[in-house]
Structure 1
């Protein structure tokens, strides 16, 4: 019954997120490609390189079907679960406005569960977006998101849908909690700083949102980079091999800046 209520009341937000993905997908795709490619290239060079090499500007929407699939599951669950937990917390505390700490707890729990539910579609999305960075013989070549999920189940087994689960859940929790906490704190400080003389209006909301997006992008970047490298890789078995290939070796070659790869397109998409 809970799942039915969430689907009915928040499918519209999931649909809105899917529509937004149609416009922001090139940034999302570029983020994944920057995160997994060995040679570091800035945002514009990466966009130009793949657009010129592949099928022109339309190649920047490769993997869009998987992005829509992800938004329809992850975003719907994230919005629905958050509102469900928030309503229950309001009823238990007999208040219509929760303190920031309770809001963060609801957001963190909702983000973690949504990350768990959305991980299978995340695996397909990352593989489709990052495929162009691989040699032709190593590409997955999924034609669309649904076909990708079917092929993963057949070729790699159901366990492959749990690839990168831990960093993905961590990223989802950090994203929700850091956005809410930063937004609330920045907005409070802006309104309480007398020389600024700001009001609780659209301008203040934009400033607070930009700050929240910046902090959330920075806090989530290490988990996001690790997740993308794990999910896009093939022929890996065992946690030791995964950690060595996706974290230790890149850190040796690139340093700690490896954990911030793809920050710019991620920030542009979020902020």
Structure 2
């Protein structure tokens, strides 16, 4: 008698669907701007004396006049001797307000675009994309920050003028109000185009080279942390200084120029660079390279390192995660 066939085994229950991965926590857009500004202001408090030396060096020898300073050390020594030790922080209010507008805008825009690209395309930006994001961020920040840039340049340069020609602004608010009253509101945006051009070059070089340097060093197993941020930022600062110096000196002279018999000293940034090359030599377009790099290098390091740390702190203490990253 044949054995009854075994009952078919019950079908296996379908495996439960995997729970969707939680969305990565991100810093809100408004907070990106705030953290960027805070990083810039913190760095400015440290490097303001170098910014003053850079400005004095760049306007030294204007119009073929004899050079006032032999080098950066001579400039710093003369400022302290002739104007007092606190003079090295002249214009700090304008510098901080510039960072609160310019750096807040440029770093906020850049980090937003960086995050947007990574989410949209699920990959890290290429070098060309980094460059494009730096240009956009720089243009936005420069336009917003130009009035404070004008005030900063004038306040840091004032001490070198003869007493009867000094503007003697009491503070940044007094500088802005007097510029509007005496020269018109549009003067606040004097040199806006070279300022934007410089910012586009600076940000394209600075932010793109920093992001690219971080990616490159990570391939050599350099871990995320202060050492990586420092090395990448110093490389970024050097590249940025070379790329932007000639535009920076043109911007400085346009913003500090005076009118002679109702006519401006310069027609524009191109006129500045042409006259510098003819009267002072082509290398004068990089006049003040040392204080500029000594200022831009540490400033780049401090801004980007501060920003990385502020981002980390926000991820840890506000968002409750340690997986977030900065630029």
1:7 touches 1:76 (CA, 8 Å); kept in 2? no
Is 1:211 equivalent to 2:235 in the alignment? yes
SS of the residue 2:70 aligns to:
coil
Please give the TM-score of this superposition, normalised by the length of structure 1. Answer: 0.86
1:157 to 168, 184, 207: 184
Shift of 1:166: 1.5
Q: 1:153 to 1:6 in 2, by over 3 A?
A: farther
Which of 129, 132, 145 is equivalent to 2:156? Answer: 129
Rg bigger for which structure?
2
Q: Please report the TM-score for the alignment, with normalisation by the length of structure 2.
A: 0.72
Is 1:259–2:288 an aligned residue pair?
Answer: no
Alpha-carbon distance in 2 for matches of 1:71, 1:223: 19
Aligned residue for 2:93?
Answer: 65
- Whether 1:166 aligns to 2:193 is yes
CA distance, structure 2, for counterparts of residue 53 and residue 23 of structure 1: 22
| C-alpha distance in structure 2 between counterparts of 1:119 and 1:137, whole Å | 27
Q: Distance in 2 between matches of 1:44 and 1:69?
A: 27
Structure 1 contact 124–149 (Cα < 8 Å) conserved: yes
Residues 43 and 178 of structure 1, relative CA distance in 2, 3 Å threshold: same
- Taking the aligned partners of 1:139 and 1:171, their CA distance within structure 2 comes to 27
Picking from 250, 253, 257, the partner of 1:233 is: 257
Shift of 1:228: 0.4
**Runs of 5+ consecutive residues of structure 2 not aligned to the other structure:** 1-27, 62-66, 298-327
Aligned residue pairs total 261
Q: Distance in 2 between matches of 1:252 and 1:231?
A: 20
For each residue in 1:185-213, what CA deviation from the matched residue of structure 2 results, as whole angstroms up to 9, or x when unmatched? 55566566xxxx76345545433322211
Structure 2 vs 1, CA of residues 218 and 102 (structure 1 numbering), >3 Å: closer, same or farther? same
The 3-state SS of whatever aligns with 2:281 is: helix
- Provide structure 1 residue ranges, at least 5 long, that are not aligned to the other structure: none
| Distance across 2 between alignment mates of 1:27 and 1:218 | 17
The SS at the match of 2:238 is helix
Q: Structure 1 residues 6, 163: closer, same or farther in 2, change over 3 A?
A: farther
Q: Return 158-167 or 199-208, whichever deviates more.
A: 199-208
Task: Give the aligned CA root-mean-square deviation in angstroms.
Answer: 2.5
